[in-house]
Amino acid sequence: MMNQKVMEPWEHYIVGASIMTLGIAGTLINSIILYRNYLKDSNKYPNSLVSNLCLTNLGIIFFAFPLSGLASFKLEWIWGDEWCTYYGCVSLLFGFNIMITTMMLVLDIFLRFYFRNYELYKIRARRLMIAWGWIISIFWSLAPLFGWSRISYEPTYTSCTVDLMHPDKAYITYIISCFICCYLLPIGLMFFVRIKPNKDYQPVSSDIGKNYQVCSLIELLFSNKGKKFIYFKKRIVIIILLFIIEWSPYATIYLWPIFLDPNTIPISLAAAAPVFAKFSVVFTPLIFWNENDPEEEKTNE
């Protein structure tokens, strides 16, 4: 709370307007994607991971955005300590699930593209991925309520998260564990998906599988499935960059108290972190706009 007076009112208003704008845009984008998945493309199986991502985005928009957005316009948290705890837990729950689901979507794309047998059990695999993601998210979001760190106000005093201002042993172990499981692990897996196939895997598509390693570069570039392969590789890079941009500010302020005085956290960084994290409800689902299983009828599964 020491940094509350550092921010000017107009800075709070910008943060509040950004949160509200992202909330409206996120509601429209995620609703449209759900519509496209389940109604417009009803002849194809919707990707349940994409649906889970959209529903998670809508969850944090409806249950968290209004509290922090209105608090920014009021220049301080106006909802009391109990709602602060609620907001912190809900934000952690949906935030962790967005990060984990993004990782699972990348893994799903990789498995579909490189392993033909994945088509036989991908529906079950996606359900297991979703269940595992929610189990992990629930665990990490409820841990502060049971003594593994705690929820308190952020330096801007307009939102709440894990208590940054008291970096005791519980805080340090909690943050390091979350950092490894929910930040480093997704980034590491996405880098693996992007880099590993170049060395050890052949695509299941026949025209790419025959020519990828025997240097038929022209066919790789201009065949339909060759273009899909190149698009797959480029899209992974975009997902990695978005993930780092959206979640690194929060990762930085969480790690800051472990190494430095928490009172020295730059107020601009503290204000930017929740806004950048909320970008994920708009930009990440756009990457998976057309993620229904293409050219695949329901009867084939």
Q: Of how many residues is the chain composed? A: 301
Scored b (16 or more CB within 10 A) or e, 106-117 reads: bbbbbbbbbeee
Q: What is the pLDDT of residue 292?
A: 57
Q: Which two tokens stand for residue 88?
A: 């912190």
pLDDT 10s digits, 77-108 = 999 999 999 999 999 999 999 999 999 999 99
Sign, CA dihedral 183-271-85-263, equals positive
pTM of the predicted model, to two decimals? 0.85
Q: Above 90 in pLDDT, residue 24?
A: yes
CA angle 31/32/33 to nearest 5° reads: 90
d(C-alpha 230, C-alpha 186), whole Å = 22
Averaged pLDDT for residues 258-287? 93
Do residues 225 and 207 lie in contact, with contact meaning Cβ atoms separated by under 8 Å?
Answer: yes
Q: Which of 37-41, 74-78, 194-198, 209-213 has the lowest mean pLDDT?
A: 209-213
Please, which residues have CB within 8 angstroms of residue 202's CB and are 6 or more apart in sequence? Answer: 114, 208, 209, 212, 213
Q: Which of 3-12, 135-144, 220-229 has the lowest mean pLDDT?
A: 220-229
Cβ-based neighbour number of residue 13 at 10 Å: 13
d(C-alpha 265, C-alpha 1), whole Å = 12
Sign, CA dihedral 216-218-224-228, equals positive
d(C-alpha 107, C-alpha 121), whole Å = 14
Averaged pLDDT for residues 109-138? 89
The candidate with the shortest Cα–Cα distance to 44, out of 127, 147, 123, is: 123
State how far Cα 278 lies from the chain centre: 9
CB neighbour class for 120 (10 Å; exposed up to 12, middle 13-18, buried from 19): exposed
d(C-alpha 8, C-alpha 14), whole Å = 10
d(C-alpha 31, C-alpha 37), whole Å = 10
Q: What is the pLDDT of residue 210?
A: 44
CA angle 3/4/5 to nearest 5° reads: 95
